[in-house]
């Protein structure tokens, strides 16, 4: 049986930390579906199509990866896709509370889908889309923390929205 995981997230935008988790996940799963949250109630810096484009370009080197969008419950989307796992990355201690809460709620909602946590590489332990956006917004360098296209797009975005 094919082992399938979904890797859900906002990806606003994708970072090298996300790619690190994906690469590790591909050692465990036959296929990973990167599932971009479309929630219209959430405020994203990048619209869905741009988040998708950045993911597509950044993930070109990986085989067995699909990119899709979803709304509603992650466990429902996972079942629709016949996925056995939900892949999430863990960085510092601060992630734990939110991630455990979400994993336990997801388990309560659907006992057939297992959340699999992978530890990110040490070099990405403090990075997040939010901290990267914050640094870029005020002119800080984010080189090497995000794929080149993402770096370019963040710069362009903050040129359009001056501080
Ligand atoms: O990249 P993020 O923002 O940390 O990803 C969060 C995400 C998309 C995994 C989470 O918000 C989510 O699963 N949203 C869908 C609603 C849901 O199923 N929530 C958890 C159980 S109530």
The CATH number of the domain holding residue 21 is 3.40.50.620
C-beta atoms surrounding 128 within 10 Å:
17
This prediction has a pTM of 0.95
Tell me, what's the pLDDT at 92? 84
Is 151 part of any domain?
Answer: no
Q: Domain total for the chain?
A: 1
Q: Which two structure tokens, joined as six digits, stand for 40?
A: 């219209």
Alpha helices in the chain (DSSP H): 16-25, 48-58, 74-80, 93-109, 129-137, 148-160
Has 79 been annotated as catalytic? no
Q: pLDDT confidence of 162, banded at 50, 70, 90?
A: low
Burial of 110 (0-12, 13-18, 19+ CB in 10 A): middle
| Ligand 1 centroid – CA 155 distance (Å) | 27
The dihedral sign for the CA sequence 7, 12, 39, 101: positive
Tell me, what's the pLDDT at 93? 84
Could you tell me the residue range of the domain that residue 38 belongs to? 4-125
Is 158 part of any domain?
Answer: no
Pocket of ligand 1 (CB under 6 A): 8-10, 37, 73-74, 102, 105-106
Tell me, what's the pLDDT at 111? 98
Q: pLDDT confidence of 161, banded at 50, 70, 90?
A: low
Candidate list 52, 129, 133, 153, residue with the active-site label? 129
Is 38 part of any domain?
Answer: yes
Is 52 part of any domain?
Answer: yes
Q: pLDDT confidence of 72, banded at 50, 70, 90?
A: very high
């Amino acid at each position: 049986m094919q082992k399938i995981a979904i890797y859900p997230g906002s990806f606003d935008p994708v970072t090298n930390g996300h790619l690190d988790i994906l690469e590790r996940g591909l050692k465990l799963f036959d296929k990973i579906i990167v599932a971009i949250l479309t929630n219209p109630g959430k405020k994203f810096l990048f619209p869905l199509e741009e988040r998708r484009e950045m993911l597509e370009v950044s993930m070109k080197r990986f085989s067995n990866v699909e990119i899709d969008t979803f709304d509603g419950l992650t466990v429902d989307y996972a079942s629709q896709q016949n996925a056995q796992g939900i892949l999430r990355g863990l960085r510092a201690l601060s992630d734990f509370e939110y991630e455990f809460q979400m994993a336990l709620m997801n388990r309560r909602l659907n006992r057939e889908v297992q959340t699999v946590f992978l530890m990110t590489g040490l070099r990405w332990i403090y990075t997040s889309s939010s901290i990267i956006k914050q640094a870029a917004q005020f002119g800080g360098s984010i080189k090497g923390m995000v794929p080149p296209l993402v770096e370019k797009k963040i710069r362009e975005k903050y040129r359009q929205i001056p501080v």
